Structure 1
């Protein structure tokens, strides 16, 4: 059967995609950020995941105010990079895994999650930047990708508890898929940042690291953090961290941390990165 072997959390700052595309990953500013991902690049080469379920948020590329799905799963064959105002990123098309995606969609809907099913869409930096951070600049991405888009842009956004529960349901869905697949689930976005208003540029190193602590081990305390705490402590865009909870929920009752990285700043954002593995309880 298919199995989730690892969970990865990462910021998806668009500036990082620019640094990759322009060959600036080793300069004085970006070097310390990208150095924290070298361990993970080696890890991915060793693990060779067949499929990545990539939890991200769209930035008005596939969705706008005409339609705002809370949770949307991509069941298509492939996805092109979106033009976010500067032309599409020069990265490979993202190849999907329709069989597993449809299986997950059916399982989630029967598990009483109202998923929006997307067969055609373009994907923006929320999805392509994490792929670049983990896989570098290959001619084609080494894993199939199932996009799972979460609305964290327009209120109301899903609660942390609902995101964690969705992750648990994804874990059950993957385990019930009969094909032998090495699956990873990635939660992206965050960490603390606010892009506008009098608190623009807000960063909160202490809270960010406490949040990462709560994803390691057997605690589920993070699922109960309320929206107002994310906004108060990490800025309006810090709410993106609920997407990390989908990843964490999919890993089961207990996790072990394999790698951890944190850096301030990148643009006006805090960079956070975790690699977790599921561990049997006890």
Structure 2
């Protein structure tokens, strides 16, 4: 039977991908950030998943103003890196897992989530940067990936409470899949940042560190946080953190914290990273 064994949370800053692709990971500006992922890279070698359910947001690569689903599950056999305006990142295509993805879709929809099923989708830095941070630069990604895109770009975005509940529904779906599969779920995006307007460059370290603490031990209450608090305290793009709650909802109520990392700045953004294991 399939089982979710661990969760990973990480920011997905596009400049991180550029630093990796252009060989700048040891530059003085970037080295402290990438050092924070050394543990994760070693940990995942010892805890290699068969598949990662990767929760991310599309940045107008696969979806645009004509159609923006709230939750979209990638059910295709493969997903190519998106061209975000300067060519696709030089990373491998993502290999999907249609059998498990379609099972999750059926189970989650039957649990009253209106999920969009996507059979063709290019994936941008929101998905490929986390893979690079955890797996480096392999010729092929070492596991299958099921992309789950969440709309946190255009109002209205789903609440943290709804995302947390979706994680629980995904957990139930995985538990009922009748193949022996080691599954991890990753939540990406954030932390505090604002990219436009008079507050551009905002980073709230107090908010970020409180979020990192509470998502481990107080996730149920954290999920009740209203959108206004994300926007007011973490900036207009800080609402990406609701995607971490999808990951957390899919894990046990009590988890083991294996890694906690926080770093500022990374291209005007705060970077957070967690590795959580089910007990």
SS at match of 2:8: strand
SS at match of 1:269: coil
Q: Which residue of 2 aligns with 1:233?
A: 233
In 2: Cα distance, 1:236 partner to 1:138 partner: 34
Could you tell me how far 1:217 is from its partner in structure 2?
2.6
- After superposition, the C-alpha distances for 1:3-46 in whole angstroms (9 at most, x for unaligned) are 00100000000000001101111110000000000100001111
Q: Which residue of 2 aligns with 1:48?
A: 48
Pairs within 5 Å for 1:215-230? 215-217=215-217, 219-230=219-230
Q: Which residue of 1 aligns with 2:29?
A: 29
SS at match of 2:64: coil
Q: Which residue of 2 aligns with 1:249?
A: 249
Pairs within 5 Å for 1:138-153? 138-153=138-153
In 2: Cα distance, 1:84 partner to 1:12 partner: 14
Q: Which residue of 1 aligns with 2:260?
A: 260
Could you tell me how far 1:218 is from its partner in structure 2?
5.3
In 2: Cα distance, 1:43 partner to 1:200 partner: 35
User: Is residue 2:130 matched to residue 1:130?
Assistant: yes
Q: Which residue of 1 aligns with 2:210?
A: 210
Could you tell me how far 1:219 is from its partner in structure 2?
4.5
Q: Which residue of 2 aligns with 1:69?
A: 69
Native 8 Å contact 1:218 1:253 kept in 2: no
In 2: Cα distance, 1:252 partner to 1:159 partner: 21
SS at match of 2:216: coil
Paired positions, count: 279
In 2: Cα distance, 1:37 partner to 1:11 partner: 11
Q: TM-score, normalised by structure 2?
A: 0.99
Native 8 Å contact 1:78 1:94 kept in 2: yes
Could you tell me how far 1:61 is from its partner in structure 2?
0.2
Q: Which residue of 2 aligns with 1:115?
A: 115
In 2: Cα distance, 1:181 partner to 1:219 partner: 26
Unaligned runs of 5+ in 1: none
User: Aligned-pair RMSD on alpha carbons?
Assistant: 0.7
In 2: Cα distance, 1:192 partner to 1:210 partner: 12
SS at match of 1:148: strand
Native 8 Å contact 2:81 2:123 kept in 1: yes
- After superposition, the C-alpha distances for 1:138-162 in whole angstroms (9 at most, x for unaligned) are 0000010000000000000001100
Q: Which residue of 2 aligns with 1:7?
A: 7
Native 8 Å contact 1:218 1:254 kept in 2: no
SS at match of 1:216: helix
In 2: Cα distance, 1:19 partner to 1:242 partner: 26
SS at match of 2:240: helix
User: CA 1:140/1:227 → structure 2, altered by over 3 Å: closer, same or farther?
Assistant: same
In 1: Cα distance, 2:231 partner to 2:198 partner: 13
- After superposition, the C-alpha distances for 1:87-111 in whole angstroms (9 at most, x for unaligned) are 0000000000000000000000001
